[in-house]
Amino acid sequence: MTVPDVVGLPFHVGRAIGHDHGVTLANPDPDGPPVGALAWPGLFYIMSQRPAAGAVVTRHSSVYVELSEHGIADQGAVRPDADVPPADSAHAIADREQILDLNDPNT
């Protein structure tokens, strides 16, 4: 079985994808509760997985996942204090000479 990439997905979606690929999502702490109990109730996202996506494992192998509850952020996060939004002139402007024409076979 090939381990699917479930990082960034809601837990319930990742669990279904894992099931379809023949693997089981699990809590990395063997003494902790089942991962399904950690992700209920609420909306939890998968932040990391082990083994990595693409690894070949036996059927019903465990894929250990770290979860984060939706809306929970690092308490130490700092938001820059900007009173005035940047002017339009601060945005990037495309340079016509650097635009790649994907339909031109010579590029």
Query: Residue 19: its pLDDT value, please?
Result: 96
Given this model, what pLDDT does residue 100 score?
Answer: 66
In a domain, 89, yes or no: no
Indicate whether 21 belongs to any domain. yes
Backbone φ and ψ for 28, nearest 5 degrees, come out as -70, -15
pTM higher than 0.75 for the full model? Answer: no
Q: What is the pLDDT of residues 31-56, one digit of tens each?
A: 999 999 998 888 999 999 999 999 99
Residue 101 domain flag: no
Letter string b/e over residues 24-38, b meaning 16 or more CB atoms within 10 A of that residue's CB: ebbbeeeeeeebeeb
Range of the domain at 29: 11-69
> Is 1 within a domain?
no
Residues 6+ apart with CB under 8 A from 43: 10, 69, 70
Domain count, the chain: 1
